[in-house]
């Protein structure tokens, strides 16, 4: 998402909060439709890195890889249009 922000002419903030990045894209007039669920990965960006006693369920990695791959392709397409 930071690549998308940069491609849209913005400056990506120093944050791991995927919801904040989505909000910024929307404030910039971008339409990150279909990526709202990606905020569920915030758990892995912050909590799982710093909490040694954390118990978690195994996510459906194949489904998440598909979401992230779609986001990657969207950013790649936007960068090609520059």
Rounded to 5 degrees, φ, ψ at 53 are -100, 20
Give CA–CA dist 16/44, Å, rounded: 10
Is this prediction's pTM over 0.85?
A: no
Q: What is the C-alpha radius of gyration for the chain, rounded to an integer number of angstroms?
A: 14
Give me the half-sphere count of Cα atoms (radius 13 Å) on the Cβ side of residue 33.
2
pLDDT in tens, the chain (82 residues): 999 999 999 999 999 899 999 999 999 999 998 899 999 888 776 665 666 666 767 788 899 999 999 999 999 999 998 8
Give me the half-sphere count of Cα atoms (radius 13 Å) on the Cβ side of residue 56.
14
């Amino acid at each position: 998402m930071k690549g998308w922000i940069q491609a849209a002419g913005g400056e990506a903030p120093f944050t791991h909060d995927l919801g904040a990045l989505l909000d910024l894209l929307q404030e910039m007039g971008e339409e990150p439709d279909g990526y709202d669920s990606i905020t569920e990965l915030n758990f892995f960006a912050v909590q799982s890195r710093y909490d040694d006693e954390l118990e978690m369920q195994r996510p459906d990695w194949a489904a998440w890889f598909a979401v992230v791959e779609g986001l990657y392709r969207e950013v790649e397409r936007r960068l090609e249009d520059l």
